[in-house]
Amino acid sequence: MAQDGTTGIVTLEPQQGERVRGVAAGLGGTADADLEITRPELLEARRTGDVGLVHSWELVTAVDGPGTRMTIFLSGCPLRCVYCHNPDTMEMKEGTLESVESVAKRVMRYRSVFNASGGGLTLSGGEPLFQIAFTRRLLKLVHDAGIHTCIDTSGYLGARLSDEDLDNIDLVLLDVKSGDEATYNAVTKRELAPTIAFGDRLSKLDKPVWVRFVVVPGHTDSEENVNNVADIVARWSDNVERVEVLPFHNMGADKWKRIGLPYELEDVTPPTPESVEHVREVFRSRGLTVF
């Protein structure tokens, strides 16, 4: 069994009997490798945030926030983005069962690296707010230890975060996937309004935000949609530190096939550098710092 969290599989619906085993060595062997609990115990542990389902993790630089960061990908997401490059995180089916204390200890081992680089912890997914109790407790433990914290979220579940939770988050990476309801629903199967409401709330609190927008040819790249997104983000210009315009890629296509889901973008090619730069200029025209 690999020790990096990418191959430990747990099925939360037990196939036989009452017990559920989670391979909990996903963060370098610091978790409870022999974690075995009953189904009711598991549900209670998830409710309290004692245990979470961690899909995988990686240590990266200049990605997912400033400095060198430990990015932890949590399983579960309410959106069904047609261009998702981590579709295996959508359902609560793949990952390793981890106790919140063991994950926090793993993160704290890298404190010196974070201090030297200005980095920290980023919770991603999936959608980190899907497992809100686990996310809430992990962020507090790590933030109380003096480590910079960040969440990578669509904002769809932003209402789950209390003001106290937001105090434990130093930076929000906010994925604004579309600027109008019809396009947002077409690409995510959900509604845009919760993301806007969350963005408005972050703006009122002056919470630092990095906005992300993915250019998907034939889906999110129309002039109207790009301008709508830019107009929305411009409302938050006081707290949005940067906008990252990201080109669509189909490197996740094999994952869709592996888990047996139809991949709708098989014939979609990445946008040209010129088209991506054009989108960036639209955001710059609103006075935003764009990458």
The CA distances from residue 228 to 108, 203, 232, 234, in Å, are 41, 18, 6, 10
Percent of the chain exceeding pLDDT 70 equals 86
Which pTM value belongs to this model? 0.86
CA–CA separation, 148 vs 145, rounded Å? 9
Percent of the chain exceeding pLDDT 90 equals 71
pLDDT (tens digit per residue) in 211-265: 999 999 999 999 999 999 999 999 999 999 999 999 998 877 888 888 888 888 8
What is the token pair recorded at 53?
Answer: 């389902």
Please tell me the total number of residues recorded for the chain in this structure.
Answer: 291
Give the up-direction half-sphere exposure of residue 46: CA atoms within 13 A in the CB hemisphere. 21
Domain spans of the chain?
A: 52-286
- More confident call, 240 vs 1: 240
CA geometry: angle 20, 22, 26, nearest 5 deg? 170
CB 132: neighbour CB atoms within 10 A? 17
CATH architecture of 52-286: Alpha-Beta Barrel (3.20)
Cis peptide before 118 (omega within 30 of 0): no
What is the token pair recorded at 64?
Answer: 């997912």
pLDDT (tens digit per residue) in 7-30: 333 333 332 222 233 333 334 433
pLDDT (tens digit per residue) in 116-171: 999 999 999 999 999 999 999 999 999 999 999 999 999 999 999 999 999 999 99
